[in-house]
Amino acid sequence: MVFPSRTKRKILAAARMVAALALAGGIYTLIAPGAQASQGLSAAAEEGKALYETSCISCHGNNGQGVSGRGPSLIGVGSAAVEFQVETGRMPAAKQEAQIERKPPAFDSDQARQIAEYVQSLGGGPQVPFPGNDAPEGNISEGGQLFRVNCSSCHAFSAGGGALSSGKYAPPMTGSTDRQLYAAMLTGPQNMPVFGDNQLTPQQKFDIIAYVQNMKSDVDPGGWGLGRFGPVTEGIAIFLFGMVVLIFTALWIAGKS
């Protein structure tokens, strides 16, 4: 009897798995009552649908219509919103809380885009207008101007974020890709206001992205940015540290030798 090599066995197992999945999927589409929903889906959207049905369906419903008390409707939210939420790990959410936080994503960005494609097919909505992760070039100084007008009140001048009401906060932009920044502006995730294309044109969004990425690529003067929150943390740090040093110095000077 010939034992197939390890690799061969793995490949065979994978092939069997794919075949079984395809068969199961095929039978499902034939007999499922909502078969019309999957009509005309692109290949990516089909993949996305499969992912959706394992990870999203319990809160957002079998056709993205939402489940009352658990998750909102996804009809019309568009692919940009899905990409942002899934790629940054906010979705699938671990639990309901004041703010759903960024965490290591459950899906890679290809899978995120497949799910996004599927949700896009449910009812349209805003889409990120460029392929890939990198936005077209923007004007950094224009972006700085726009950032200070539109973004800095919540995200602070240095994109370090800041507090909102009742435990919510504007997150720092560390780790955000161009695509995520664009999707966030376009869709207004969670409590962020929406900045549609009438409000900030795509070019203005590229400018803001260029500014944010430029700012993020810089090092902190002195080596420690203290979260880049700005004068409050810096003031507290220098006050506490400086006061301790000054008090002990004064004690030493005045102490008897």
Partner 1 sequence: MTTRFEEVRRGALEKDGVEIVHYEPQFPPGSKSERRMVRVVSLIFLLSGLFAFAFVAVYIWWPFTDFPSVKGWEYEPGSSWMKGYTPVLGLTLGLALCLLALGVLTWGKKLLPHEIALQDRHDGGSPPDERRLTGQTLVFVGEELGLNRRPLLKVALLAPIGGVALAAAAVPVGMLIKNPHKPNDLLFETGWSPALNGGNPVRLMHEDGKPIRPEDVSVGGQITAFPMTKDGLGATNKHADSPILLIHLRQDDAELLRANTVHQPKNIGGMYGNLVAYSKICTHAGCPASLYEQQTNKLLCPCHQSQFLITDNAKPVFGPATRRLPMLPLGIDGEGYLVGLNDFNGVPVGPAFWEKPEA
**Residues in touch with partner 1 (CB under 8 A):** 149, 153-154, 162, 164-166, 168, 170, 188, 190-196, 198-199, 214-215, 217-219, 221-223, 252-253, 257
Nearest distance from C-beta of residue 150 to partner 1, angstroms: 8
Q: Other C-beta atoms within 10 Å of 193: how many?
A: 10
Q: Which residue lies nearer to partner 1 by CB, 45 or 170?
A: 170
Directed axis angle between helix 202-217 and helix 140-150, to 10°?
A: 100
Q: Which residue lies nearer to partner 1 by CB, 33 or 221?
A: 221
CA distances from 224 to 17, 78, 256 (A): 50, 39, 38
Nearest distance from C-beta of residue 250 to partner 1, angstroms: 11
Q: Which residue lies nearer to partner 1 by CB, 115 or 212?
A: 212
Nearest distance from C-beta of residue 236 to partner 1, angstroms: 17
Cβ neighbors of 94 (< 8 A, separation 6 or more) are 103
Nearest distance from C-beta of residue 42 to partner 1, angstroms: 27
Q: Which residue lies nearer to partner 1 by CB, 45 or 186?
A: 186
CA distance 9 to 11: 5
Q: Which residues pair with 71 in a beta bridge?
A: 67
Amino acid, res. 71: G
Q: Which residue lies nearer to partner 1 by CB, 86 or 185?
A: 185
Nearest distance from C-beta of residue 162 to partner 1, angstroms: 8
CA distance 112 to 91: 10
Q: Which residue lies nearer to partner 1 by CB, 37 or 192?
A: 192
Q: Where are the alpha helices (DSSP H) in the chain?
A: 6-31, 43-55, 57-60, 78-87, 109-123, 140-150, 152-155, 178-187, 202-217, 231-254
Q: Which residue lies nearer to partner 1 by CB, 48 or 71?
A: 71
Nearest distance from C-beta of residue 121 to partner 1, angstroms: 21
CA distance 188 to 19: 40
Nearest distance from C-beta of residue 180 to partner 1, angstroms: 18
CA distance 56 to 58: 6
Q: Which residues pair with 159 in a beta bridge?
A: none
Asked whether 210 and 200 are in contact (CB, 8 A), the reply is: no
CA distance 228 to 159: 8
